[in-house]
Chains A and B, each alone.
Chain A
Amino acid sequence: MIARLRAPGLHRGILAIPLGIGFSYAIVLPIRAASHYHPVLDGTAILQVAMIVAPFAFLIGLGAFDYWFYWATGRPTRPEDHSGHGARSWKDYFRVNTDHKVIGVQYVVHSFLYFLIGGLFAMLMRVQLAQPGGKFVDANTYNGLFSVHATVLIFLFVIPVFAGLANFVLPLMIGAPDMAFPRLNALSFWLLPIAGLMLLGSFFAPGGSFASGWTAYAPLSTSAPIGQVFFTLGVQFAGASSIATALNFLVTIITMRAPGMSFFRMPLLVWANFSTSLLVVIATPFIAASQFFVLLDRALGFNFFNAGSGGDVLMYQHVFWFYSHPAVYIMMLPGFGIISEVIAVKARKPIFGYRMMAFSLLAIVVLGFTVWAHHMFTSGMPGWIRDPMMITTAIIAVPTGVKIFSWVATLWRGVLHMDTPMLWAMGFITMFTLGGISGVMLAMVPFDLHVSKTYFIVAHIHYVLFGGSVFTIFAGVYYWFPKMTGRMFDERLGRWHFWTTLIFFNVTFAPMHLIGIQGMPRRVADYSSQFATWNLIISIASWGLGLSTMIFVYNMVVSWRGGPRAVANPWRGLTLEWQVSSPPPIFNFDSLPTIVGGPYEYGVPGAIHAVFRDGAQVPQPAPSRAMVTQE
């Protein structure tokens, strides 16, 4: 027992938490006593310190820092025996593991847990809104529900699930044995449960959970009850995880590509994650800063956002959106990558305009940093900023349009395998186009002056993030499910999942455009009775949407446990992840591949993407008719 508590792992990690809390008391009490603060024992002060210290204690206990501590203190680092690498039993998923495939699965499963929780919150909100004058929850709880809903789904679902999928497939795709920094990779994942539990834990805080929206605008957030700090700090941990992963992706992509894999031979998923990682590394520190400002305002009275003491209220919004607009692309570009993979393979055609697809990603990265103040058209910032921001915001539709049209052109004359991943991809193209169009409308300042912060925005964001990001996530999860689990999913259930989701998604979110323009504000626990009919329809459809997700959960769980065994390359893909077994060997490749051609040469007679040095496997596409006749 003692040995188990001394060894790195969950036991030691959990044991370390009370030690961290004790340490927080030991810091806070003497300082308060010395400063003559009254009372000396103050729960809020200790809680805020403990929320910073305890997570680090947990991580140290877990063993996330063991190797670095040994190294830093000059003690012999244990020779790498790879005992912390790869999963031999399910228990290996619950400890610090350095295998990118294990971490990828950890990320994806953990993220979907929060997808279900965040979705459940939405369904509870829709109960409250089913009728005007809803009494299901009180206004404060309602404000908490939508705040936690958005925060959890952004920071613990969409962003990390993309990081998880890429974690699994990206090193495989570029022919690397792992990520560049496996230990950092493990640490990145383990920061997430901390962030997640902190956000959810806020419901138990005195005064309720944080309730100032996921945007946490000051001075509402600086004057809110202590639950707000759970957001302020939770986001720091999620953000740190994001930054570390992005650095890891950048270094991996730049330095660990297999011989012959030039940038323009990389699959577009790799391009997408390269672009996303640039955004994350540059932008995420800004949200960290905005939340540190809030923390300092709250805990130590810095008055950054206190207008009466020289603070600047709009400053918060500028710093916040300087991250949070690029974050929209952080939540979309990896999905673009997934769609490119799925569509090329499932349409049996090369991606139309590969280079333009890559360049448009980079264009979005650059433009993405120039549009943040379009969230602030009504904020009271100097009026002249509106015009340039309107121009840049509208221009960003051009590279996005290039991508949409190129996917559509890839479908043209293909041989479309209309199975589950492809249905999601095609559903994505149409739904995301709608979200993009309402985005262009919102860019037009005079229209935005009317609908900003209304249900029109709620509709737009969900067409972009649900019809956009979530559809791509489903496409990706179905597409790589055989590779990740070694099992096939149930195709029939997959189709049911797609069609029910598509229908309920549209019934839920399309009417929101209308009620928004008609004058219904978002983030309200009650509304004027003129919107009653639509709200009832929306509420019913939202529960349908929730239930359709249960089909997915059932399919995933049952297929993972007992689905038919997957072959190495069930979709006849050319990219490298399909050239190894399903699931892949612990170190990915028995011999490193050499890349000799593009990743999407479907239909090109005799095209080869890669050859393996030992010559034992030649990762040709499973013989297409074109190839057979060529030989």
Chain B
Amino acid sequence: MADTHGSQSTPHRPPPSRRTIVRLLAIGMLAAAIGIVFGLLIPWFPPAAAKQAHTIDTLYYVLIVVTVPIFVLVTTVVLFSGWRWRMRPGEERLDGPPIHGNTQLEVIWTALPAALIAALVVYAAIVLGDIGAKQPNELKVGVTGQQFEWTFSYPAYHDGAGQPIVAYQLYLPINRPVVFEIHSVDVIHTFWVPAFRIQQDAVPGLTTSFRATPDRLGSYQIVCNQLCGYGHSTMRTTLHIITASAFNAWLAEHGYSGGAQTTSLQRKPASGGGATEVADAGGWRGYAPLSGAQTNTKEGTQ
């Protein structure tokens, strides 16, 4: 610490003793350890029901372990300073030592976080690659969002009329990789399965997708996570992860009689696009324009 002037006449407070600093360091590390334990013990996540979810949960716990000490360190030094260096009676006119900086320290606290961040980014990029990786024997599921409900279609499984099976709750067989192909017929929605830890927007005019491999039986929430209008908070449905045999039974119940075909994923009219056109497609619950306040007023000013 380079004082710019001789300090013979400046009665600054003495620097903290080595013992004080060691103590502070010990307190800081103890607090960081408690913080980390606390951070790991909190039941942060809902049940995980996909292979990808476990990977993402691990990433989060790593982030907790890495970042909590930074917060604790800063807070400890701020609290310590507030206690140790506060102005005491008689010091109203006293100034601190004129320390203008310390290159070594500044290099350390630039380089160290940068290295830490670089490591985290590499790790996160690897995780991102893993959870999106193509799997063998993927089950394609079409997801369509519209105000305010979800529709799921199974393009590989057709009913007696040759139409893909369509459902309003999502049924998936356990341990079979799924690729969702997501559409919207009106505004943007977000297809979010908290138990998978993954969400993906449903965007008008685009097909978006993500992959997940269900690995836990049970029923889970499917949530629309993009504000989509009046009924947004009610745009919910349920995911059922069932055994392969139960899934086959469920398919049969919906008219599937074996023989997977590959046809277009989404039952959409040839011209695509507009919401009102989709209503024509066979088997679809028609898209009814919203009433009252929600009505599209595009023609309003003509």
Question: A603, B192: Cβ atoms under 8 Å?
Answer: no
Question: A437, B70: Cβ atoms under 8 Å?
Answer: yes
Q: Which of A502-550 contact B (CB under 8 A)?
A: 514, 517-519, 521, 523-528
Question: A449, B95: Cβ atoms under 8 Å?
Answer: no
Say whether B167 faces chain A, with CB atoms less than 8 Å apart: no
Question: B198, A450: Cβ atoms under 8 Å?
Answer: yes
Question: A354, B9: Cβ atoms under 8 Å?
Answer: no
Chain B residues lying within 8 Å of A625, measured Cβ to Cβ, are 10-11, 93-95
Question: A220, B187: Cβ atoms under 8 Å?
Answer: yes
Distance of A419 Cα from B189 Cα, bound (Å): 48
Question: B124, A143: Cβ atoms under 8 Å?
Answer: no
Chain B residues lying within 8 Å of A404, measured Cβ to Cβ, are 74
Say whether B160 faces chain A, with CB atoms less than 8 Å apart: no
Binds B, one of A250-258, A326-334, A380-388, A479-487: A380-388
Question: A440, B42: Cβ atoms under 8 Å?
Answer: no
Q: Which of A572-613 contact B (CB under 8 A)?
A: 601-607
Other-chain residue from A219, A300, A437 in contact with B188 (beta carbon distance below 8 A)? A219
Chain B residues lying within 8 Å of A383, measured Cβ to Cβ, are 132
Chain A residues lying within 8 Å of B98, measured Cβ to Cβ, are 349-350, 601-604, 607
Question: A219, B56: Cβ atoms under 8 Å?
Answer: no
Which of B194, B225, B274, B292 gathers the greatest number of chain A CB atoms within 10 Å?
B225
Question: A450, B94: Cβ atoms under 8 Å?
Answer: no
Question: B206, A314: Cβ atoms under 8 Å?
Answer: yes
Question: B186, A449: Cβ atoms under 8 Å?
Answer: no
**Shortest Cβ distance from B264 into chain A, in angstroms?**
18
Q: Which of A388-441 contact B (CB under 8 A)?
A: 390-391, 394-395, 397-398, 401-402, 404-406, 408-409, 411-418, 426, 429-430, 433-434, 437, 440-441
Which of A390, A446, A525 gathers the greatest number of chain B CB atoms within 10 Å?
A446
Chain B residues lying within 8 Å of A450, measured Cβ to Cβ, are 56, 194, 197-199
Chain B residues lying within 8 Å of A409, measured Cβ to Cβ, are 99, 102, 105
Chain A residues lying within 8 Å of B86, measured Cβ to Cβ, are 416, 418
Distance of A537 Cα from B272 Cα, bound (Å): 47
Q: Which of B275-302 contact A (CB under 8 A)?
A: 275, 292-298, 300-302
**Shortest Cβ distance from A49 into chain B, in angstroms?**
9
Other-chain residue from B5, B9, B99, B297 in contact with A225 (beta carbon distance below 8 A)? B297
**Shortest Cβ distance from B261 into chain A, in angstroms?**
27
**Shortest Cβ distance from A392 into chain B, in angstroms?**
10
Say whether B219 faces chain A, with CB atoms less than 8 Å apart: no
Chain B residues lying within 8 Å of A426, measured Cβ to Cβ, are 78, 81-82
Chain A residues lying within 8 Å of B121, measured Cβ to Cβ, are 390-391, 394, 443-444
**Shortest Cβ distance from A276 into chain B, in angstroms?**
22
Say whether B46 faces chain A, with CB atoms less than 8 Å apart: yes
Say whether B253 faces chain A, with CB atoms less than 8 Å apart: no
Distance of A349 Cα from B95 Cα, bound (Å): 7
A413-B201 contact in complex given A220-B229, A440-B67, C-beta closer than 8 Å: no
Other-chain residue from B45, B186, B295 in contact with A517 (beta carbon distance below 8 A)? B45
Question: A44, B60: Cβ atoms under 8 Å?
Answer: no
What's the tally of chain A residues with a CB closer than 8 Å to chain B? 112
Say whether A313 faces chain B, with CB atoms less than 8 Å apart: yes
Say whether B258 faces chain A, with CB atoms less than 8 Å apart: no
**Shortest Cβ distance from A142 into chain B, in angstroms?**
8
Q: Which of A599-631 contact B (CB under 8 A)?
A: 601-607, 623-626, 628-630
**Shortest Cβ distance from B225 into chain A, in angstroms?**
5
Question: A437, B125: Cβ atoms under 8 Å?
Answer: no
Other-chain residue from A139, A433, A630 in contact with B232 (beta carbon distance below 8 A)? A139
Say whether A217 faces chain B, with CB atoms less than 8 Å apart: yes
Binds A, one of B107-115, B136-144, B168-176, B242-250: B107-115
Q: Which of B74-128 contact A (CB under 8 A)?
A: 74-75, 77-78, 81-82, 85-87, 91, 93-102, 105-106, 109-110, 113-114, 117, 120-121, 124-125, 127-128
A402-B110 contact in complex given A354-B100, A446-B131, C-beta closer than 8 Å: yes
Distance of A223 Cα from B71 Cα, bound (Å): 44
Other-chain residue from B59, B117, B206, B301 in contact with A395 (beta carbon distance below 8 A)? B117
**Shortest Cβ distance from A321 into chain B, in angstroms?**
14
Binary per-residue interface labels of chain B (214-246) against chain A in the complex, 1 for a CB within 8 Å, 0 otherwise: 000000010111111111111000000000000
Say whether A562 faces chain B, with CB atoms less than 8 Å apart: no
- Report the contact-size class of chain B (Cβ under 8 Å from the partner): 35 or more
Distance of A361 Cα from B94 Cα, bound (Å): 31
Other-chain residue from A140, A380, A624 in contact with B230 (beta carbon distance below 8 A)? A140
Question: B44, A514: Cβ atoms under 8 Å?
Answer: yes
Question: B124, A301: Cβ atoms under 8 Å?
Answer: no
Say whether A356 faces chain B, with CB atoms less than 8 Å apart: yes
Say whether A378 faces chain B, with CB atoms less than 8 Å apart: yes
Question: B128, A380: Cβ atoms under 8 Å?
Answer: no
Say whether A445 faces chain B, with CB atoms less than 8 Å apart: yes
Chain A residues lying within 8 Å of B9, measured Cβ to Cβ, are 605, 626, 629-630
Distance of A48 Cα from B68 Cα, bound (Å): 50
Say whether A298 faces chain B, with CB atoms less than 8 Å apart: yes
Other-chain residue from B15, B199, B205 in contact with A307 (beta carbon distance below 8 A)? B205
A219-B10 contact in complex given A143-B227, A440-B117, A514-B44, C-beta closer than 8 Å: no
Say whether A207 faces chain B, with CB atoms less than 8 Å apart: yes
Q: Which 8 A-B pairs have the closest CB atoms?
A: A307-B205, A308-B273, A519-B194, A524-B233, A603-B95, A349-B96, A380-B208, A414-B96
Interface pairs (28), CB distance under 8 Å: A42-B301, A143-B227, A207-B292, A219-B188, A223-B186, A225-B295, A307-B204, A313-B203, A348-B95, A349-B95, A349-B98, A350-B98, A350-B99, A355-B101, A380-B200, A394-B121, A398-B110, A402-B109, A430-B78, A441-B60, A441-B63, A447-B63, A450-B56, A453-B192, A514-B42, A519-B221, A526-B233, A603-B10
Known: A139-B234, A347-B85. 18 other contacts (CB 8 A): A42-B301, A207-B297, A220-B187, A224-B294, A314-B203, A356-B101, A395-B114, A398-B110, A415-B95, A433-B71, A440-B117, A443-B124, A450-B56, A514-B42, A517-B45, A517-B60, A526-B233, A603-B96
Which chain B residues have a beta carbon within 8 Å of chain A's beta carbons? 4-5, 9-13, 15-16, 42, 44-46, 55-56, 59-60, 63, 67-68, 70-71, 74-75, 77-78, 81-82, 85-87, 91, 93-102, 105-106, 109-110, 113-114, 117, 120-121, 124-125, 127-128, 131-132, 182, 186-188, 190, 192, 194, 197-201, 203-206, 208, 210, 221, 223-234, 272-275, 292-298, 300-302
